[in-house]
Amino acid sequence: MANKLTLLDLALRAQNPNATQIGLVESMAQTNPLLNIMPFIPVTGSLLQYNRRVGLPTVGFRGFNQGIDKSKSKIIPVSIECKFLGGRSVVDRRIALKDPRGINVHRSEEDSGFASAMANKFNAVSYYGNKLSDPNEIDGISTILDTIGGTCINGTATSETVHSIYAWAFQDVLTGQGRLKGVEGLLANGQLINAFDMGLHYEKDADNKEYPAYFTEFEWELGLAVYDTRSVARLANLDATHKPTIGLLNQLFTAMYPYKPDVITCDKATYNWIQDLKGSTFTTVQVGETELFKRVLTFDGVRIEIDENITTESVIS
């Protein structure tokens, strides 16, 4: 990921880096492959605005004493709003006092779970977020591909639940039309996840009775920018009968041209189907030889990651 910074890079390069913030980011990225590799950029305020060219001007050859029709590019303004993700950790003071490791260790252990949960939430909505159904969340790439249009290769399964493989291109591409930007995460005001120790307060139990507890507030305001729909792609409608094939994966990569994906993500079942492709290729390898049982980690040099935030889906038409 040369030239672009991941969340961990940003945490390490912060003006006042601290072990707590770096530890939070590392914890968040452990089971979220997108956060491990996706670059993030700071935006002023909570809004990223840019122009998207959707049509080139018309040009033509001109003869002597002949003119050329005037024309211009078709450019549309695009605004991407960062959305607020929050959480609150509440730890009963009495329970924290009983921990032999100390109050702060006990609270930190609980707090790290909130950081992971927020990372899981962003990772999940990066696929399935839909502002129409929930105005408070971002649009994920499934929604973007369905509404704006983009690369979707059909695996032809028609069962009630199907699976998808997603391909992401984060690096920019330089073409004859200029620089085409890949996918980026957005950080409102350049802020990483913030954890605020609110101290000791009173919390209410199920019977509306109060007890002392330590509060920690978590805040993270972020978004997802897909500048060009060719920079993301989906191989949809897969199941146990209609598994991914070399041909379908090649179609997926070719449809993303001029981009080359940096990572492809899928659920565990789909990952195992990809392994079946490799196993069937080495038909002459005898059982017991190590080559047959090596796990496939890349396809055409592109890393494959299991993402547990990807769920079974409805059939994509």
Look at residues 100, 188, 101, 182 and name the one whose alpha carbon lies nearest to residue 138: 188
pLDDT digits over 153-164, tens only? Answer: 999 999 889 999
Strand partners, 180: 173
Q: What are phi and psi of 294, to 5 degrees?
A: -70, 135
C-beta of residue 171 within 8 angstroms of C-beta of residue 245: no
Radius of gyration of the chain, Cα coordinates, nearest whole angstrom? 24
pTM over 0.85: no
- pLDDT beyond 80 at 178: no
Look at residues 263, 197, 212, 240 and name the one whose alpha carbon lies nearest to residue 39: 263
Give pLDDT, residue 270.
95
Non-local CB neighbours of 248 within 8 Å, separated by 6+ positions? 153, 155, 235
Distance from C-alpha of 37 to C-alpha of 300, rounded to nearest angstrom: 18
Distance from C-alpha of 307 to C-alpha of 14, rounded to nearest angstrom: 28
pLDDT digits over 225-234, tens only? Answer: 998 888 999 9
Average pLDDT over residues 82-101: 92
**Packing angle, helices 103-128 and 19-29, rounded to 10:** 40
pLDDT digits over 17-56, tens only? Answer: 555 666 667 666 667 778 888 999 999 888 998 887 777 8
